[in-house]
Amino acid sequence: MSRRFGPAAVHVILIAYSLIALMPILLVVMNSFKARKAIFGAPLALPSSETFSLIGYSKVLGNSNVGMFFFNSVSVTLISMASVLLFGAMAAWALAEYRFKGSTLLALFLSIGIMVPIRLGSISILHTMVSLDLINTRLALILVYTAQGLPMAIFILSEFISQIPKDLRDAARCDGVPEIAIFFQVIAPLLRPAIATVAVFTVVPIWNDLWFPLLLAPGKETQTITLGIQQFIGQYVTDWNSVLAALSVAILPVIAIYLIFSRQLIGGLTAGAVK
């Protein structure tokens, strides 16, 4: 066996796998910009001036409430993320900083949710939401997603808080700064780098979820983009232009955001993965 694994061979393998990862996505996006004939005639060709067509997009954007679905997804995801970060950071701070009776037990209680999927409690969640009259509201989704995201966020943020030098808060305490101000003015700004890590573990699953929108908010007014696209495609199965355009409408913004933040996202993921 050669002493060194040839560098060329490594690149060949990595390029090949990158193609496997990208091809299906490219294929869908590429063909969404083509006329029906070209989709079937030459699926692997890039759209040219003759085959270029936006008919699928005009149907998707005209026919369905994509704008509203987007607004629903964005508002549900952002508010859920904000509450996961705020409440998660506050709880992580209390657990890491204060010693009180039952703190270990409480930490254990809060970590159950890391391993046990919240989905298994769906029947009772549905009953609760019915009795609170929250069915077909974005609030129902926000409450469930916050509960779902908290355990992981508390776990990651506790690790992060325990790495912050103790001198900082002790100096503030000596100056007589109240505890709540220490958290919001000294600790919270330092947590910024951990936001990316928490975001990967909370935002992505929330944005992509189908289960809870299907269960708790299937109404036209409150559908998220994932559910909306799923139902739109169900109605237009045979209209390939519309289906491909609908898929691209769901894919492209996520990829754009991913490419902008990929460094932080992957950095966050590898940092959070330690252990």
Partner 1 sequence: MPELTQSALSSKSGFGRLALLVFFLGPAVVIYAAFSVYPLIATMALASFTTDQAGAYHFAGIDNFILLLTDKDWRGPFWNALGNNVLFFIIHMLVQNPIGIAIAGLLSLPALKFRATYRTLIFMPTMLSVVIIGFAWNLILSPLWGVSEGFLKFFGLGSLFQPWLGLEGSALITIGLISVWQFVGIPLMLIYAALLNIPEELVDAARIDGLSHLRIFFHVKLPLIMPTIGLVSILTFVGNFNAFDLVYAIKGALAGPNFSTDLLGTFFYRTFFGNQLQLGSPTMGATVATAMFLIILMGVCVYLFLVQRRLERHSF
Is residue 88 within 8 A of residue 154, CB to CB? The reply is yes
Judged by CB under 8 A, the stretch of 9-17, 46-54, 56-64, 189-197 that binds partner 1 is 9-17
Q: 75, 137 in Cβ contact below 8 A?
A: no
To which residue do tokens 């709880």 refer?
Answer: 91
Instruction: Provide, rounded to whole angstroms, the least separation between the CB of residue 35 and partner 1.
Output: 15
- 37: contact with partner 1 by CB under 8 A: no
Instruction: Determine if 207 is a binding residue for partner 1 (CB under 8 A).
Output: yes
Q: Is 68 an interacting residue with respect to partner 1 (CB under 8 A)?
A: no
Kindly state the number of chain residues that form the binding site for partner 1, as judged by CB under 8 A. Answer: 96
Residue 133 contacts partner 1 per CB under 8 A: no
**What is the smallest separation between the CB atom of 150 and partner 1, expressed in angstroms?**
5
Residue of the chain from 70, 164, 179, 190 that contacts partner 1 (CB under 8 A): 179
Q: Under rule CB under 8 A, which residues in 180-199 are in contact with partner 1?
A: 180, 183
Minimum CB distance to partner 1, residue 50 (Å): 20
Tell me: does residue 100 bind partner 1 (CB under 8 A): yes
Tell me the closest approach of the beta carbon of residue 103 to partner 1, in angstroms.
9
Q: Binding to partner 1 by residue 8, rule CB under 8 A?
A: no
Site string for partner 1, 244-273 (x = CB under 8 A): x--x--xx--xx--xx--xx--x--xxx-x
Per the listing, tokens 């994509």 go with 66
Q: Is 164 in the site for partner 1 (CB under 8 A)?
A: no
Neighbours of 87 (CB within 10 A): 16
- Please report the DSSP string for 168-186 in residue order: HHHHHHHTT--HHHIIIII
Among residues 49, 62, 67, 166, which is the contact residue for partner 1, using CB under 8 A?
Answer: 166
CB of 62 to partner 1, least distance (A): 20
Q: Which residue has the tokens 């083509």?
A: 34
219 binds partner 1 (CB under 8 A): no
Interface positions, 73-92, toward partner 1 (CB under 8 A) = 83, 86-88, 90-91
Cβ neighbours of 151 (radius 10 Å): 22
